[in-house]
Amino acid sequence: MKMIERTIFFLFFSKKKISKPKKNKILIFDGANYLPVLRSLKIYDIEKLCIRGEEINFYIVLKTLQKKFYLILQPKLFWREYIFNYIGIVDPKIVITFIDNNPFFYTLKKKYSSKIFISIQNGYRFKKGDIFGNLSIRSKRNLACDYVFCFNKNVAKLYKKFIKCKTIVIGSLRNNLTKISSKKKSNKILLISSYGLKSDKIEKKLIPILLIFCKRKNFKLLILGRTGTQKEMSFYEGINKSHFFDFYSNRLQKDLDFSYNLIDNCNTIISLNATLGYEALGRGKKTVFLNFNTREINCKSYVTYNWPSKFSREGFNWLTVFNKEKILRKLENISNLSEENWSRKYKNQYNFIMPIDYHNRKLKKIIKKSL
C-alpha cells in the first residue's frame, strides 16, 4: 500500500514532462548526482532518465499504461516497465549511471545486449548495507555491465567478483574535475562531516578535541557539511555556541569545485572514513582518518582504512579506536609534516587508494570509442 501511495504522490507532485523523450546516443540512468557526468561529457548531448520520482515523463506513463493498464495497481512492476519504455524510446547506444550501488542497473545489460552499459563509482563501498552486502557469487549469472569505472584496484576486484564486467580504475569522477590548487596552505584544519551517518555522538566528542589542538597550534577549525540541510546546520550551531569554528554547507549539487578548493586550502584534513577524505588523500592532502563510526552496523568494513584493502587497525594517519591522546598525537605529527615530506612518504599510498585521472580522460576515451 505504501508503494501505491508513493507512486500517486510522485504522479501529482513531481516535476512533469509531457513531450516524448528525444532519441539520443547517450542516456544517464538515474538523475541523482548526475552533474559530474554532464560536466565530464559536456561536448555531448545527453538524455536523462529519473527513476526516483523527482521528474516524470507523462508520455512514457501513458505509453506504459496503454500497454499494461493493470500495472497501475502494481507500482514496482509499473516503474520497471516505465524504465524499459523510456530506454526503448530514447534508444541510446550508451547507458551511464553514477549510482553504482543500484543492483537493478546491472540487470539491464541482459535485456539490451547491443547497448553499452557504463557504471561509475560515486562513493566508498562497504561489506554490509551496500551493494556488496546485497550480492552473492550466484548474482554474476544475472548481472552484467560493459565497463565499471572504479576508485582503485581492490574495489575493482570486488565488482568483477559479483558482476560480469570490465573494470577501469580512474579514482573519483568528481575529484578528477577540479584542478589541484598549488597555493600556499593556510593554518586551518578541516573536519569532513559525517552527519546523517549515525556520527552525532562521535562528532560531539571529537570536535572539542580538535579545538584543543587548534588552540595549541594557533589553527582555525573548519567543518564541511555533508547533507546541505537545515537540520545539519542546526546540529553544528548547537555545538558552536561560542563560535569556535566555521561551518560550511555542502554545495556539491550547485558547485562541484567548492569542497575540493576548500580542502586544497587547508593544512590538514580529518575524515571519519568518508569518501571525500579519500579524495583529499588522492589530491595529496595531509589526511587523518578517525574511523570510529560503525554507523550502528555490525560490520568491520565501516571502520577499516580503505576497505577492502587489508590495513592494520592503526597506522601513521589512521585510528580505529577513540583515544584523545592518540588523536592529538596524530594531528600533531601529520600537521607538522611539510607538503614535500608528506608527498615523499605517502605518494605511493594515495596513488594506490585514490588515483587521479585528470578531466576523466579514460571515460572520454571509452565514450568516443563506443559511439
Does the structure show a pLDDT above 80 at 6?
no
Please state, in angstroms and rounded to a whole number, the distance separating the CA atoms of residues 95 and 79: 18
Please state, in angstroms and rounded to a whole number, the distance separating the CA atoms of residues 316 and 310: 15
Q: What local confidence, expressed as pLDDT, does residue 189 receive?
A: 97
| SS3 assignment, position 287 | strand
Domains, the chain, with CATH or none: 2-175+359-370 (3.40.50), 181-353 (3.40.50.2000)
Average pLDDT over residues 178-201: 91
Which alpha helices (DSSP H) does 14-152 contain, by range?
35-40, 58-67, 75-90, 108-111
Q: Cell 523527482 maps to which residue?
A: 54
Cβ atoms of 58 and 17 closer than 8 Å: yes
Does the structure show a pLDDT above 80 at 12?
no
Does the structure show a pLDDT above 80 at 239?
yes
Q: Confidence band (pLDDT; 50, 70, 90) for 10?
A: low
Does the structure show a pLDDT above 70 at 8?
no
Q: Convert the pLDDT of each residue in 28-51 to its tens digit.
A: 999 988 999 999 999 999 999 999
Average pLDDT over residues 358-368: 97
**Of 135 and 358, the one with more pLDDT:** 358
What cell was used for 150? 572504479
Average pLDDT over residues 246-252: 88
Q: Confidence band (pLDDT; 50, 70, 90) for 132?
A: confident
- Reference 64, options 51, 53, 77; nearest CA is 77
Does the structure show a pLDDT above 60 at 4?
no
Q: What local confidence, expressed as pLDDT, does residue 354 receive?
A: 96
Q: What local confidence, expressed as pLDDT, does residue 1 receive?
A: 46
Q: Convert the pLDDT of each residue in 147-176 to its tens digit.
A: 999 999 999 999 999 999 999 999 999 999
Lowest mean pLDDT among 160-164, 204-208, 272-276, 309-313: 309-313
Cβ atoms of 287 and 271 closer than 8 Å: yes
Give me the amino acid identity at 356: I
Which residues are within 8 A (CB) of 235 and not within 5 positions of it... i.e. 6 or more apart? 195, 200
Q: Confidence band (pLDDT; 50, 70, 90) for 140?
A: confident
pTM of the model: 0.93
Average pLDDT over residues 20-32: 95
Q: What local confidence, expressed as pLDDT, does residue 15 receive?
A: 83
Please state, in angstroms and rounded to a whole number, the distance separating the CA atoms of residues 90 and 136: 32
- Reference 144, options 112, 122, 171, 98; nearest CA is 112
Q: How many CB atoms lie within 10 A of CB 285?
A: 22
Does the structure show a pLDDT above 60 at 3?
no
Please state, in angstroms and rounded to a whole number, the distance separating the CA atoms of residues 355 and 332: 26
Q: What local confidence, expressed as pLDDT, does residue 129 receive?
A: 82
Does the structure show a pLDDT above 90 at 290?
yes
Q: Convert the pLDDT of each residue in 209-237 to its tens digit.
A: 999 999 999 999 999 999 999 999 999 99
Q: What is the DSSP letter of 356?
A: B
Does the structure show a pLDDT above 80 at 141?
yes
Query: How does the average pLDDT of the chain come out, rounded?
Result: 91
